[in-house]
Amino acid sequence: MPVSAAPPRKRRKEARPSELTAAALELFVEKGFAATRLEDIAVRAGVSKGTLYLYFDSKEALFKAVIQEGLVPALAEAESLAAGHAGSAFELLQALIEGWWRLVGETRYSGIPKLMIAESRNFPEVAQFYYENVVQRGRALFAAALQRGMDSGEFRRRDVATCIDVIIAPVLMLIVWRHSLAHCLLVQQEPRTYLAMHLDLLRQGLLGDATGSP
């Protein structure tokens, strides 16, 4: 037993739950919920199987925790980013998309959307939580930007609710793609280029021609 070194047990104890959910997230995203064994999660987190049950009541509870601690903090950050934004509506849209990529797309949390796509029908309660706390809040950010642009005449006037989903889809799809087919086929493309193309089409699509019509 080493006399010094090694973080004291106290610190570990507090950090444990998030180490466990981090390991669980990785494996759930990789293999899916049902195909992931608790033992594998324990091994990846460097603990024993039984330890998982000190922090979570069941495999399903662990899954819920993974989702619940996943994207909410990122959303809060995005919300404050949007609140303090000063530029044009399109610049806000751009900031939202790029911010989302930085805060989610490039982190381990990017796996959560794929996970929810794969598992929501098996866990309706979790899906409900995710919808209310992530999807709705995320859509609201985009809705506000779009509404502002339309009200000011910067954007053509369209149905906002429908517009949001069309705009978000390429961003979501990029993430999902990188966690599914692209991952095992190694056909990665450059995300920044892809997002730039999306914004390029979007600018033209939303702004319309010089006269602002139709």
| Residue ranges in contact with a second copy by CB under 8 A | 30-35, 114, 116-122, 124, 127-128, 130-131, 135, 156, 158-159, 161-163, 165-170, 172-174, 176-177, 179-181, 183-185, 187, 189, 193-194, 197-198, 200-210
Amino acid residing at 3: V
**Residues of 131-155 as b/e, b for ≥16 C-beta within 10 angstroms?**
eebbbebbbebbebbbebbbeeebb
Instruction: Compute the distance between CA of residue 172 and CA of residue 98 in angstroms, rounded to an integer.
Output: 12
List, as own/partner pairs, every contact residues 10-19 make where C-beta atoms lie below 8 angstroms and the sequence separation is at least 24, other chains included: 16/47, 16/51, 16/55, 17/55, 17/65, 18/69, 19/45, 19/46
Smaller CB separation from a second copy, 81 or 205: 205
Contacts of 207 (CB under 8 A, 6+ apart): 90, 154, 155, 156
- In the complex, least distance from residue 82 CB atom to a second copy, rounded to whole angstroms: 21
* Binding site partner of 76, from a second copy, DNA, none, Cβ cut-off 5-8 A by kind: none
Count Cβ atoms below 10 Å from residue 39 Cβ, excluding itself. Answer: 11
- At 119, list the tokens: 């598992």
| Closest CB 188 distance from a second copy, rounded Å | 12
If the CB atoms of residues 43 and 81 are measured against a second copy, the closer one turns out to be: 43
Using the minimum distance from each CB to DNA, give the nearer residue, 61 or 173.
Answer: 61
Cβ closest to DNA, residue 51 vs residue 88: 51
CB closer to a second copy, 81 vs 98 = 98
Answer for the pair 32, 7: CB distance below 8 angstroms, yes or no.
no
The entry of a second copy, DNA, none that residue 176 binds, CB within 5 to 8 Å by partner kind: a second copy
User: Which of DNA, a second copy, none lies near 206, with the C-beta cut-off 5 to 8 A by kind?
Assistant: a second copy
Binding residues for DNA, rule: CB under 7 A, are 6, 8-10, 12-13, 16, 36-39, 47-51, 53-55, 57-60
Residues contacting residue 214 through CB under 8 Å, at least 6 positions apart: 156, 208
- Name the minimum Å distance from CB 26 to DNA: 15
